[in-house]
Amino acid sequence: MERDDIYEYSLDGHHNEEAGKKIRKKIWQVTALLTAITILEVIVGIFLGRSSTSGMLWQSVKWGYIILTLIKAGYIVMVFMHLGDEKKSLRYIILVPYFIFMAYLIFVMINEANAVHGAWETYHF
Amino acid sequence: MAGHTTNQMDSATLWGGKTSPFQVSYGKMMMWFFLVSDALSFGGLLVAYGFTRHTTLDAWPIGEETFNSLPFLGHGYPLVYVALMTFILIVSSVTMVLAVEAGHRMDKKGVVKWMIATIIGGFFFVGSQAWEWYHFIHGSEFGKIELADGSQAIVSGHFGEIKNFTVLEAGKHHKKGEVIKEDLMHEFQHAALAGKLKDGTITLHDGTIAKINKEADEHMHLIIKKDGSKYKVGDKIEDEKAAKMYYESLYSGESNKVIYGANLDQNEYGPQQYAQFFFFITGFHGFHVFSGVMINIIIAIGVVMGTYHKRGHYEMVEKTGLYWHFVDLVWVFVFTFFYLV
């Protein structure tokens, strides 16, 4: 029996050929961007990697990598996984708890690791 | 009106359960919740990796020094292979999102085509990872060497080929003057580990002592990875001096001067935990990729059989797509924190 008291959200995703063209164009654009970022990362890795740089230069390369990674991740989540097209409340209920927890975990990790490193350097276990 | 309630509510206030506050189907929301928890697992693993790396006093391996090989072409191609793997995974993610898009147009043929492409991409990635593991476990031809002052160094350069062994003293299986041409590299590394290389000669299993005929190494560099009494982490020793010091240790006749490849006890790349994390994190991710390929195959069969077309929507493809993109997403982070940074 067909039920008419439940809204079938699965049908919401449907679109026509014309809208499909636009969506496909966006997909290929994002592909090009992700590929370009990966190639850039490898080129930087070969010429400005950790083995050939140090100090401030390496620090900026490192943070550059992390930012590029987050950009890549953002495009994958928002475009490929369509989270950008979902309702705002769903978007936030997925992202906000995750970021809060990870930020806390990373903070703890860096703090504790520094302390342990310091202890090992001091006492040479 | 305090304390007064009424049984009568207008339908705008009353949530009848017909619509979802998030306006997604139950299955899709649960897939997202699963992915959040799985992302926390990977996040935890990478944070643990970061913790270990941060605490250690020894030099942590450098991506472009450790991963510089290509199949059939040998060494000297830093990061190219992992970049290729990353690219394969990104492309398979793209074909998956195109399958989802085709599903939204109820284009069954399109879904089948793009899902098959995704599955092929997934197999390519798993295969690449198998090669990567094989290479990581097998290690380089030079290995990591412990120098005379107690420091440890990795070696870059071209390892001269071993031509043959000429028997100097007969053993059980070989006569004097015989030329051994088989299994040379294996015997050589085995003898190096056991300390049975001495002054250009090798002692084989059966007690045969033979002279090693080997081509000269080229462009040899020693890069110090662990402090000794003379050399410190980061020091580089070049060419002839490097070759002299390397063979002084290798041909010293003492065991455990060299480490080839990696296992859970030791590895030639860096601290013990490095290989453990490598195996665990890339292994856990590879397992996800493998399960993803299997799930994709099951769903692709469903698409071919018309199960989802009859249902009126291809949301199953979308849900497996979410998982597949997630696998790609994790790799982006593994790539950065394991190979680049």
Give the pLDDT confidence of B282-338 residue by residue, as tens digits. Answer: 999 999 999 999 999 999 999 999 999 999 999 999 999 999 999 999 999 999 998
> Which residue do the tokens 């696998």 mark?
B327
Q: How far apart are CA B55 and CA B334, in angstroms?
A: 20
Task: Confirm if B98 and B84 have CB atoms less than 8 A apart.
Answer: no
Q: How far apart are CA B152 and CA A13, in angstroms?
A: 59
What average pLDDT is seen over chain A?
90
Chain Cα centroid distance, residue B28? 31
B232 CB within 8 Å of a chain A CB = no
A-chain CB neighbours of B57 within 8 Å are 117, 120-121
B239: burial class by Cβ within 10 Å (0-12, 13-18, 19+)? middle
The whole-angstrom distance between B127's CA and the closest CA on chain A is 20
Q: Exposure pattern of B49-74 as b/e (b: 16+ CB <10 Å)?
A: bbbbbbbbeebbbbbbbbbbbeeeee
B126: burial class by Cβ within 10 Å (0-12, 13-18, 19+)? middle
Instruction: Compare all CA atoms of chain A with the CA of B21 and give the residue at the minimum distance.
Output: A89
Task: Confirm if B165 and B262 have CB atoms less than 8 A apart.
Answer: no
Residue B243 φ/ψ, nearest 5 degrees: -60, -40
The whole-angstrom distance between B304's CA and the closest CA on chain A is 19
Looking at the DSSP assignment, which residues form a beta bridge with residue B108?
none
pLDDT given at position A7:
75
For the cut 70, the answer to whether the pLDDT of residue B12 exceeds it is no
> Using 50, 70 and 90 to split pLDDT, how confident is the model at B4?
low
Contact between chains at B336 and A42 (C-beta distance less than 8 A): no
**Average pLDDT value for residue range B175-204:** 88
Q: What DSSP character marks residue B265?
A: S
Q: What DSSP character marks residue B251?
A: T
Instruction: Compare all CA atoms of chain B with the CA of A107 and give the residue at the minimum distance.
Output: B47
A-chain CB neighbours of B55 within 8 Å are 113, 116-117, 120
Contact between chains at A35 and B24 (C-beta distance less than 8 A): no
What average pLDDT is seen over chain B?
89
Instruction: Compare all CA atoms of chain B with the CA of A41 and give the residue at the minimum distance.
Output: B340
Q: Which of B133, B157, B145 is nearest to B65 (CA)?
A: B157
B93 CB within 8 Å of a chain A CB = yes
A-chain CB neighbours of B65 within 8 Å are 51
Residue ranges of B 106-145 with Cβ closer than 8 A to chain A: 106
> What H or E segment, with its residue span, contains residue B114?
helix B108-138
pLDDT given at position B1:
47
Instruction: Compare all CA atoms of chain B with the CA of A8 and give the residue at the minimum distance.
Output: B25
B-chain CB neighbours of A42 within 8 Å are 79-80, 83
Give the pLDDT confidence of B60-71 residue by residue, as tens digits. Answer: 888 888 887 777
- Determine which of A83-92, B89-98, B245-254 has the lowest per-residue pLDDT on average: B245-254
> Using 50, 70 and 90 to split pLDDT, how confident is the model at B52?
very high
For the cut 80, the answer to whether the pLDDT of residue B262 exceeds it is yes
- The pair of structure tokens assigned to B25 is 């189907």
Contact between chains at A10 and B25 (C-beta distance less than 8 A): yes
- Determine which of B3-17, B42-56, B276-290 has the lowest per-residue pLDDT on average: B3-17
Task: Confirm if A62 and B341 have CB atoms less than 8 A apart.
Answer: yes
B-chain CB neighbours of A18 within 8 Å are none
Looking at the DSSP assignment, which residues form a beta bridge with residue B70?
B74
Helix (H) and strand (E) counts in chain A? 3, 0
Interface mutation vs chain B, best among A24, A39, A41, A42, most B CBs within 10 Å:
A42
Q: What is the pTM assigned to this prediction?
A: 0.88
Q: What percent of chain A has pLDDT over 90?
A: 69
pLDDT given at position A95:
95
Interface mutation vs chain B, best among A80, A82, A105, A120, most B CBs within 10 Å:
A80
Give the pLDDT confidence of A82-103 residue by residue, as tens digits. Answer: 999 999 999 999 999 999 999 9
Contact between chains at A7 and B20 (C-beta distance less than 8 A): yes
Q: Which of A12-21, A47-56, A83-92, B35-44 has the highest mean pLDDT?
A: B35-44
Q: Which long-range contacts (CB under 8 A, 24 or more apart) does B260-266 make?
A: B260/B138, B260/B139, B260/B140, B260/B143, B260/B189, B260/B192, B260/B193, B261/B136, B261/B137, B261/B138, B261/B139, B261/B140, B261/B143, B262/B136, B262/B137, B262/B139, B263/B137
Could you please report the per-residue DSSP string of B285-317? HHHHHHHHHHHHHHHHHHHHHTHHHHHT--HHH
B30 CB within 8 Å of a chain A CB = no
Contact between chains at B22 and A93 (C-beta distance less than 8 A): yes
Contact between chains at B90 and A97 (C-beta distance less than 8 A): no
pLDDT given at position B91:
94
Residue ranges of B 263-322 with Cβ closer than 8 A to chain A: 312-313, 315, 318, 321-322
For the cut 60, the answer to whether the pLDDT of residue B241 exceeds it is yes
B-chain CB neighbours of A109 within 8 Å are 47-48, 50-51, 54
Cα distances (Å, whole numbers) of residue B172 to B122, B182, B184, B185, B197: 50, 16, 18, 20, 19
Task: Closest CB to A17: pick one of B40, B78, B105.
Answer: B105
